[in-house]
């Protein structure tokens, strides 16, 4: 009977829907509902005890067992379920390595960089803003908006805006992506000159994430991950310096989305 009362109480609470009253009023509504269900259960319990006292036989017990079983079967089963918004936001940070090909490699060494990025997800789509800030130096002399001497220490800013599709397999997420890239070289001690080399181009690559922790409460759910991101972008620098960039990043971060808890009817086989 207690199992039947619990099922009835959950079902009646679900039927209330969203309670938009004050917390005090909502508590009174729930208390009244609980008292009503408890009163009905006590009446049933008393009726059972009276019949069993009048006829303490196995037939009486079986009749009441069948009655309660039928009541449970007729009462929808309700569970608390979580729903998640299809939107989520992510943040990650790590380190990267920028490899250069073509004429860029002839004039600049590869760069080690600090990686920072944001992602915005909707369902299986992901938009990412990925930024690398690194340091390297020149290999040989050249002249572009001024003299670049061999061994000049330089800063690299490599930014990518990409769109990708998520393919999830258990705790692994694979995200092939395409987008646009901007790469900028500046002397590290850039005082009063304008020696800034900027290149634009397309980019494509893949991101592989491994989820190592999931944290959820009544307001939000967060996935904590570490990931590797590889991209290739042929950058059109100023004539004479163009070349392809291969960017590898390793980072750790999280994705967070809003959650909502509610009650819903579930279909299960009744076991008495």
Residue with the two structure tokens 């989305």:
257
Q: What's the 3-state SS for the chain?
A: CHHHHHHHHHHHHHHHCCCCCCHHHHHHHHHHHHHHHHHHHHHHHHHHHHHHHHCCCHHHHHHHHHHHHHHHHHCCEEEEEEEECCEEEEEEEEEEEEEECCHHHHHECCEEEEEEEEEEEECCEEEEEEEEEEEEEECCCEECCCEECCCCEEEEEEEEEEEEECEEECCEEEEEEEEEEEEEEEECCCCCCCCCEEEEEEEEEEEEEEEEEEEECCCEEEEEEEEEEEEEEEEECCCCCCEEEEEEEEEEEEEEEEEEEEEEEECCCCCC
- pLDDT score for 6: 76
Question: Model pTM?
Answer: 0.68
- pLDDT score for 117: 96
- pLDDT score for 19: 62
| pLDDT tens over the chain, length 272 residues | 777 777 777 777 777 666 666 777 777 877 887 788 788 888 888 887 888 788 888 888 888 888 888 887 777 777 766 677 889 999 999 999 999 998 899 999 999 999 999 999 999 999 999 999 999 999 999 888 888 899 999 999 999 999 999 999 999 999 999 999 999 999 987 666 678 888 888 999 999 999 999 988 777 889 999 999 999 998 777 667 888 999 999 999 999 998 776 666 665 544 43
As a whole number of Å, the end-to-end CA separation of the chain is: 11
What sign does the CA torsion over 143, 146, 152, 154 have?
negative
- Rounded distance between C-alpha atoms, residue 163 and residue 139, angstroms: 34
Dihedral class, residue 240 (left if φ above 0, else alpha if ψ from -120 to 50, else beta): left
Using alpha carbons only, what angle is made at residue 255 by residues 249 and 258, rounded to the nearest 5 degrees? 165
Residue 226: Cβ-neighbour burial (10 angstroms; 0-12, 13-18, 19+): middle
């Amino acid at each position: 009977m207690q199992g039947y009362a619990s099922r009835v109480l959950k079902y009646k609470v679900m039927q209330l829907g969203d309670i938009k009253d004050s917390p005090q009023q909502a508590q009174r509504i729930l208390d009244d509902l609980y008292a009503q269900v408890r009163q009905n259960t006590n009446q049933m319990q008393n009726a059972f005890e009276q019949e069993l006292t009048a006829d303490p036989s196995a037939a009486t017990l079986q009749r009441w067992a069948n009655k309660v079983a039928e009541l449970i079967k007729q009462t929808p089963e309700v569970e608390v379920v979580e729903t998640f918004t299809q939107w989520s936001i992510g943040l990650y940070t790590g380190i990267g390595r920028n490899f250069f090909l073509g004429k860029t490699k002839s004039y600049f060494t590869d760069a080690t960089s600090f990686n920072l990025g944001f992602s915005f997800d909707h369902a299986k789509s992901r938009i990412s803003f990925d930024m690398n800030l690194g340091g390297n130096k020149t290999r040989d002399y050249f002249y572009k908006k001024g003299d670049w001497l061999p061994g000049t220490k330089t800063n690299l800013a490599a930014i990518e805006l990409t769109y990708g599709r998520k393919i999830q397999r258990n705790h692994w997420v694979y995200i092939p992506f395409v987008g646009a890239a901007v790469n900028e070289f500046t002397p590290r001690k850039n005082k009063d000159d304008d020696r800034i080399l900027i290149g634009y181009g397309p980019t494509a690559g893949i991101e592989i994430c491994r989820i190592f922790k999931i944290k959820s409460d009544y307001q939000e759910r967060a996935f904590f991950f570490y990931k590797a991101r590889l991209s290739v972008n042929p950058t059109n620098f100023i004539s004479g310096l163009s070349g392809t960039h291969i960017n590898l990043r390793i980072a750790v971060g999280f994705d967070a989305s809003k959650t909502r808890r509610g009650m819903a009817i579930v279909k299960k086989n009744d076991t008495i």
